[in-house]
Structure 1
């Protein structure tokens, strides 16, 4: 009787160890680190996407700042997954196409939507 109780206890411990080990590894691909598992979980992908969008936005502003003939202070930039939307005003109609071409030339930009308008002088 004592022998049976000992075997049952040993078997119970073995089963518990296997279940705990399987539970701890659930969802983690073979050979993947826990950091990779966190990225795959979706918890950090939104954060990574926001960081990438902000970085692309900064690159677009930096590219516009290199062109002194363009007043980028009146231009707003929104980036989402490589798609960039620009809005605001420029002083001359020819600058609209110039701004669009500059933005298209930035690495990571997949499309450009322009809502730029020409700023009218006061009184007209």
Structure 2
């Protein structure tokens, strides 16, 4: 009878310890952000603005280009150039400069040639 009582006590103790151990473990899947999860809308807007600033900075530094009347829109790596330039050469320079900026995947050159 004492052996049976000892087995019950040991079994009960092991069950309690096992349940406490399982409860104390952290859930790594919930604690770590999912790498495949889509970024938040705020992060996407910030990335688009940062890319827009990079392209504008590159356009301002480009030789042979007056970038004062050029507007840049960026969305997910796709860049759109809008505004007016004085000739086709400046439009080409703007497109090539924008394409050379890291992070740009495509460039839509919607620049208008301003007649003088």
TM-score by length of 2: 0.68
Residue pairs, 1:11-22, within 5 angstroms: 11-21=15-25
Q: CA RMSD in A?
A: 3.2
Structure having greater relative contact order (Cα 8 Å, sep ≥ 6): 2
Unaligned runs of 5+ in 1: 29-33
Unaligned runs of 5+ in 2: none
Question: After TM superposition, which residue ranges in structure 1, 4 or more long, deviate above 3 angstroms?
Answer: 2-10, 46-52
Structure 2 residue 66 is the aligned partner of structure 1 residue 64: no
Aligned partners of 2:23 and 2:63: how far apart in 1? 65
CA deviation profile, 1:40-92 (whole Å, cap 9, x unmatched) = 2737x335544433332222111111136433232111223322111112122
Structure label with greater radius of gyration:
2
Aligned partners of 2:29 and 2:97: how far apart in 1? 44
TM-score by length of 1: 0.64
